[in-house]
A = this chain, B = another copy of it.
């Protein structure tokens, strides 16, 4: 057991080892023994999981899963640990992305500064280099979309979006495995960038909407094929 991922490993283990009826998990002492760490380490991890509202620690009673439904933070955590998320939640996240980013594209048209444009140019340039090298553009895709959100000059907006982009770190590479998808995505990014340059809010909005519609369709198709084996199986360490 590599200690670095104690938090993620613990989260996954709690789900697999908890009482299905009550949601009660093994005690701190048992967990400490299972992971071969001190109780203090377990308590630190549990404190974080409690702050994320994944578990609830009841004094003198035990540790309980607060819900079978993972929190946003938990989803990001599980994604990092390689724990499959409920496909429904993936789809919901895409829907939320549409709500956020279509509006972000519109706002960015009136608020983007030269700094944003410069950063977007860099990202698009990097994308081309990677595509020419036959590589995926997972990171560049995320950077592009988040930079547009940043261009709204609403820092809260940007932080909220950053949260669920963390979740995609494991999935985006899959999406961009197909070079054709990377090319298509990049071409659409260029169009969106043009609209931003022209500060044409309606056009940017429409292009972003179409762009995300494609993403949504991809996941919808993928999810329908994996509805039964994905999800609930929270892989133990």
Q: Could you say which interface size class chain A belongs to?
A: 20 to 34
Which of the residues B7, B44, B52, B157 comes within 8 Å of A44, measured between beta carbons? B44
Q: Does A59 contact B (CB under 8 A)?
A: no
A185 → chain B closest CB, angstroms: 22
A96 touches B51 (CB 8 A): no
Q: Which of A24-32, A159-167, A216-224 contacts B (4 or more CB under 8 A)?
A: A159-167
A161 → chain B closest CB, angstroms: 9
CA of A100 to CA of B69 in the docked complex: distance in angstroms? 21
Q: Does A236 contact B (CB under 8 A)?
A: no
CA of A164 to CA of B157 in the docked complex: distance in angstroms? 11
A29 → chain B closest CB, angstroms: 15
* Max chain B C-beta neighbours (<10 A), residue from A89, A100, A155: A155
Contact A156 B92, CB 8 Å, known A72-B163, A99-B103, A163-B72: yes
Copies of this chain per assembly: 2
A39 → chain B closest CB, angstroms: 9
Interface of A is mostly: helix
A72 touches B40 (CB 8 A): no
A156 touches B164 (CB 8 A): yes
Give the residues from 137 to 153 in chain A that come closer than 8 angstroms, CB to CB, to chain B.
none
Interface residues of A (CB under 8 A from B): 7, 40, 43-45, 47-48, 51-52, 69, 71-73, 75, 88-89, 92-93, 95-96, 99-100, 103, 154-157, 159-160, 163-164
With a cutoff of 8 Å between Cβ atoms, the chain B residues found around residue A88 in the complex are 155
Cβ contacts A to B, 11 pairs, < 8 Å:
A7-B51, A40-B40, A43-B44, A47-B47, A48-B51, A51-B52, A92-B155, A96-B154, A96-B157, A156-B164, A160-B163
Which of the residues B47, B48, B156 comes within 8 Å of A72, measured between beta carbons? B156
CA of A157 to CA of B95 in the docked complex: distance in angstroms? 8
